[in-house]
Each structure stands twice: as structure tokens, then as C-alpha cells.
């Protein structure tokens, strides 16, 4: 029997291998036991799912277990994005939500994200409790199950519609009046995921001319990974150029991540989008608050925080750490280099739909292309160039060994300081840095690098490749 472990953001496994109805029910029972233990049985739980294979069937399996434990369960009427389920937790004041999703993983995967009552990712403390209960169930504990028909008859299972409530909230978060004046042309790419219809519908309502691609549900995601990064957005780039659009906007499989393409079909990394949004919120919207970023995210945010007189907080990788600060209040924006972000007044969960709408709002506000606005940012704050290397994780690569072999230099640059916030971060001369840490979702060692120029970045990455060759 395989151990079920929660990674950086939930449990993911291959369907029909480890991700089976039986194992899903085990996780659901652990969540039910936890809910009862904290005294929240009466509040109820939302169960949602994305467009992956058998998503609704797995969601029904979860609902059957929760209902069997006497927990009122609300099953979404359609596939929904993770941030929409999280918003539902906050809006309806329920105990939490269970999302059947593997986010941006390959199509053969599915997974479970648990969202507690605060409407953000489960903390490590909560997932530790769930894993402990899962182990207890797997070694002799009981899973309670009733059929959907019985749950409905006992009034423990009912459908729930989340979209209109979430969209009403977005209308309060985004300046639709600004976009109505700009009449942007935008290409929207939900990558066959649960976000289909959200960004395009809201932009059209705001007066934009929208063209959609890959906007039908497909559990195979068109044969591509549903991850909105450079190498997976070729279709979006082509369509932006063909339509002469102002920008292209994408989401991953469960729409908690965003992807951006400028008017020339050039991919905009999440780090660049985060600095653009931070400037927009401060310069145009006149907002303030803490800037929270993960240890792997651009230090250009640090420069901006210093310039604006705002506090900068660095967290370990994983939006749950950012969300913890957002729950305390006074956070202007929280973001991570992997394409997740949220802002003040929203849920403490990453939301690619909201971020896409805010980027469109920014272009409308500035009356400029996103590339031009980025150039303005670089002129004001200077440039930093980032990249990530992925190395297959093997048993001989250990953090202790890396610490024993701390170099005096990485490439031609002196190591000035070492941070162990998450993995090992080498702070180099000139404000450059390298972070080495194991992935929380894949058997990889991730190496993040940031430098003041393309040439410097090349020297640093070559040094890292040589180190691990």
C-alpha cells in the first residue's frame, strides 16, 4: 500500500495507479475526521473538480464519504477553478473545500487539494494531521460510505453554484469602467481547463474584444501539459499575432496560475508580471501594504518595496506560506515565480483569473502595451534576469553535502551570504543569487538563478550545470 503524501500544494498521483476511488475515499475520510475533530461538522464542505478524467466521479466519491460522516456536502454543479472553490469557502462560510485537481500536472495525473475554512491552501500542520489520519485508516481504520442517492435523501448532499457569486466579487476587485474605455483586443487561452469561460466572459463584459482558443473541456488538454509557461503557449503566441491583439492571457488546468503573452507574441515570465502588478497597484490604484514573495521569486520586488517604502517579506516556496501572511492582513500583493498571486481584498489563495483581469486593467489604465509598461519599470528600477534549471533528483544529491561544499564563488561572482529559508540560497555580489531546493511536486532538484544581465545569468547557469554534471 503506497503512502499518500501531500506535497507543496496537495496530493497528486497517476489515475488508476495510486489515484484510485479507494484511495480518494481514504483521503476523504481523513478530511472528514479532521473536520469533526475541530468541531466544524455542521458548517459543511464544498467539493469541486476540474476537467480531468473522471473528475466528477472522484468528487462524488469524496461526497459519499463526507456525507456518511454526517457532514453536509455541497457538490459543484460543474467543473470549477480552484480559486472559485476557495472563494466559495469564504462566501458561504463553510468548513472548507476539497478540490479534485492535479493543477498543471500531465493528463494522466489527478489529485486532491484541501482548502480549510480560511479559504487558502492547507498549512503543513494541517496536512501532517491528514497524513497521520490517512496512515491510521490504511493500517486498519474504517472508511464510511453512502451512495449519492442516500446522501441526497438524508439532505446531506446538494448541488452548489459558485460562478455568479465569484464573478460578482471580481466586479468589485477589477475596474471594469477603465477597461470599457480602452476596448482592448485580447486572446484568452484556458488550456482546456476549468477556467474556460471565466476570463473571456468577464473581459467581454468589460468591453474588450475577446478571442478564445482551447476553450473546451478536454481531459487530455489537447495533448499538451496544462501549464501556462513559455514552451506550452505557442498557440496563444500565434493567435495574438494573427489577431493583432493587445495581449494574450492563459490559465493552467485549475486556473490558479496565470500566463501572459505581449502584443508581439513574446512570453512574459511571472516574475515580470508580478513587478508590473505591484507598480500598477501602487502607482495607479494608490494602494499600499506588504509585498510578500517566495524565496525563489525575483528580488526586483525588493527594490520596488524599498523605493515605495513598503515592507518586503520572503517566505519558503508554496503559496500556503504567502497565504498565511495574507490572512494576517495588510498585504498588498503576494506572489511566486511559478505563476501564482493574489492581492489585498481577495482570498489568500492564488488566482490566475483575477491576475489576468488585473493585467488587462493595467494595460487599459496605462493606455500602453504590456511590453511598454515593462520597459518603464526597467527604466525606473533596473533589470534583473531570471531562469530555472531542473535536475533529476538522485540519492547522492543531499543538502548536507551541498552545505559542506559551499563555494567561495559561483562563476566569477563571490558568494556573500547563505540563506536557508527553503533549500540553500547563495546571495552573490551585485544583488545576484542562486537557490537550490528539491521540488515539492516532482522528483527534481530545482535551481533558480537571477542576475543583473543576460551575460551574467549565462555565467551563473553554466557554473551550476558544471557543479551538477
pLDDT band at 244 (very low <50, low <70, confident <90, very high): very high
Quick check: 429 pLDDT over 60? yes
Backbone region of residue 339 per phi and psi (left: phi > 0; alpha: psi in -120 to 50; beta: other values)? left
Quick check: 407 pLDDT over 80? yes
Mean pLDDT of 212-221: 96
Q: Which of 241, 258, 203, 277 is nearest to 249 (CA)?
A: 258
pLDDT (tens digit per residue) in 8-41:
789 999 999 999 999 999 999 999 999 999 999 9
| Per-residue model confidence (pLDDT) at position 105 | 93
Out of 61-65, 116-120, 400-404, which region has the weakest mean confidence (pLDDT)? Answer: 400-404
Q: Take residue 145 and report the three cell numbers written for it.
A: 460510505
DSSP, collapsed to helix, strand or coil, labels residue 332 as strand
Q: Take residue 221 and report the three cell numbers written for it.
A: 488538454
**Residues 254, 258, 262, CA angle at the centre, nearest 5°?**
145
pLDDT band at 2 (very low <50, low <70, confident <90, very high): confident
Q: Take residue 441 and report the three cell numbers written for it.
A: 511536486
pLDDT band at 322 (very low <50, low <70, confident <90, very high): very high
With beta carbons less than 8 A apart as the criterion, state whether 333 and 324 touch.
Answer: no
Mean pLDDT of 250-274: 98
Q: What is the share, in percent, of the chain residues with pLDDT greater than 70?
A: 96
pLDDT (tens digit per residue) in 290-302:
999 999 999 999 9
What's the distance, CA 233 to chain centroid?
17
pLDDT band at 395 (very low <50, low <70, confident <90, very high): very low
| Per-residue model confidence (pLDDT) at position 179 | 95
pLDDT band at 438 (very low <50, low <70, confident <90, very high): confident
Mean pLDDT, all residues of the chain: 95
With beta carbons less than 8 A apart as the criterion, state whether 206 and 174 touch.
Answer: yes
Residue found under cell 493606455: 367
| Per-residue model confidence (pLDDT) at position 440 | 66
Mean pLDDT of 270-283: 98
With beta carbons less than 8 A apart as the criterion, state whether 98 and 46 touch.
Answer: yes
Q: Take residue 409 and report the three cell numbers written for it.
A: 564563488
**Residues 426, 428, 434, CA angle at the centre, nearest 5°?**
40
> Rounded to the nearest 5°, which phi and psi values hold at 198?
-75, -60
| Per-residue model confidence (pLDDT) at position 401 | 56
pLDDT band at 444 (very low <50, low <70, confident <90, very high): confident
Q: Which domains does the chain have, with CATH numbers?
A: 11-162 (3.40.120.10), 174-381 (3.40.120.10), 385-467 (3.30.310.50)
pLDDT (tens digit per residue) in 305-318:
999 999 999 999 99
Q: How far, in Å, CA of 82 to CA of 49, rounded?
A: 8
pLDDT (tens digit per residue) in 139-151:
999 999 999 999 9
| Per-residue model confidence (pLDDT) at position 396 | 47
Amino acid at each position: 500500500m503506497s503512502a499518500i503524501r501531500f506535497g507543496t500544494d496537495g496530493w497528486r498521483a497517476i489515475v488508476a495507479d495510486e489515484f484510485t476511488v479507494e484511495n480518494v475515499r481514504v483521503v476523504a475520510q481523513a478530511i472528514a475526521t479532521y473536520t469533526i475533530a475541530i468541531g466544524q461538522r455542521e458548517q459543511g464542505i464544498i467539493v469541486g473538480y476540474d476537467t480531468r478524467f473522471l473528475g466528477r466521479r472522484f468528487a462524488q466519491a469524496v461526497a459519499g464519504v463526507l456525507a456518511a460522516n454526517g457532514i453536509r456536502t455541497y457538490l459543484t454543479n460543474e467543473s470549477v477553478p480552484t480559486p472559485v472553490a476557495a472563494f466559495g469557502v469564504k462566501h458561504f462560510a463553510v468548513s472548507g473545500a476539497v478540490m479534485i485537481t492535479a493543477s498543471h500536472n500531465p493528463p494522466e495525473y489527478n489529485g486532491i487539494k484541501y482548502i480549510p475554512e480560511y479559504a487558502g491552501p492547507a498549512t503543513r500542520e494541517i496536512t501532517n494531521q491528514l497524513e497521520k489520519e490517512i496512515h491510521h485508516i490504511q493500517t486498519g481504520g474504517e472508511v464510511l460510505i453512502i451512495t449519492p442517492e442516500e446522501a441526497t435523501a438524508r439532505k446531506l448532499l446538494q448541488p452548489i453554484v459558485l460562478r455568479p457569486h465569484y464573478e460578482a466579487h471580481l466586479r468589485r476587485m477589477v475596474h471594469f469602467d477603465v477597461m470599457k474605455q480602452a476596448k482592448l483586443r485580447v486572446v484568452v487561452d484556458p488550456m482546456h481547463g476549468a477556467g474556460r469561460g471565466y476570463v473571456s466572459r468577464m473581459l467581454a463584459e468589460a468591453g474588450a474584444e475577446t478571442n478564445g482558443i482551447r476553450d473546451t473541456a478536454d481531459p487530455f488538454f489537447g495533448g499538451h501539459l496544462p501549464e501556462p509557461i513559455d514552451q506550452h503557449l505557442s498557440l496563444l503566441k500565434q493567435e495574438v499575432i494573427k489577431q493583432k491583439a493587445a495581449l494574450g492571457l492563459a490559465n493552467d488546468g485549475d486556473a490558479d496560475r496565470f500566463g501572459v503573452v505581449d502584443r508581439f507574441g513574446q512570453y512574459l515570465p511571472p516574475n515580470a508580471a508580478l513587478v508590473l502588478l505591484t507598480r500598477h497597484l501602487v502607482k495607479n490604484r494608490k494602494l499600499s501594504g506588504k509585498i510578500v514573495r517566495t524565496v525563489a521569486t525575483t528580488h526586483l520586488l525588493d527594490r520596488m518595496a524599498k523605493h515605495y517604502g513598503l515592507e518586503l517579506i520572503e517566505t519558503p516556496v508554496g503559496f500556503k506560506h504567502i497565504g498565511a501572511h495574507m490572512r494576517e492582513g495588510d498585504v498588498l500583493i503576494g506572489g511566486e515565480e511559478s505563476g501564482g498571486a493574489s492581492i489585498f481584498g481577495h482570498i489568500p489563495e492564488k488566482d490566475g483569473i483575477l491576475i489576468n483581469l488585473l493585467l488587462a486593467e493595467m494595460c487599459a489604465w496605462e493606455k500602453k502595451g504590456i511590453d511598454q509598461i515593462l520597459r518603464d519599470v526597467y527604466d525606473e528600477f533596473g533589470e534583473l534576469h531570471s531562469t530555472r534549471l531542473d535536475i533529476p533528483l538522485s540519492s547522492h544529491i543531499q543538502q548536507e553535502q551541498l552545505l559542506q561544499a559551499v563555494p567561495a564563488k559561483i562563476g566569477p561572482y563571490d558568494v556573500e551570504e547563505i540563506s536557508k529559508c527553503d533549500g540553500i540560497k547563495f546571495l552573490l555580489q551585485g544583488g545576484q543569487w542562486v537557490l537550490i531546493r528539491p521540488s515539492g511536486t516532482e522528483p527534481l532538484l530545482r535551481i533558480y538563478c537571477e542576475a543583473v544581465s543576460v551575460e551574467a545569468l549565462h555565467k551563473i547557469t553554466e557554473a551550476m550545470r558544471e557543479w551538477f554534471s
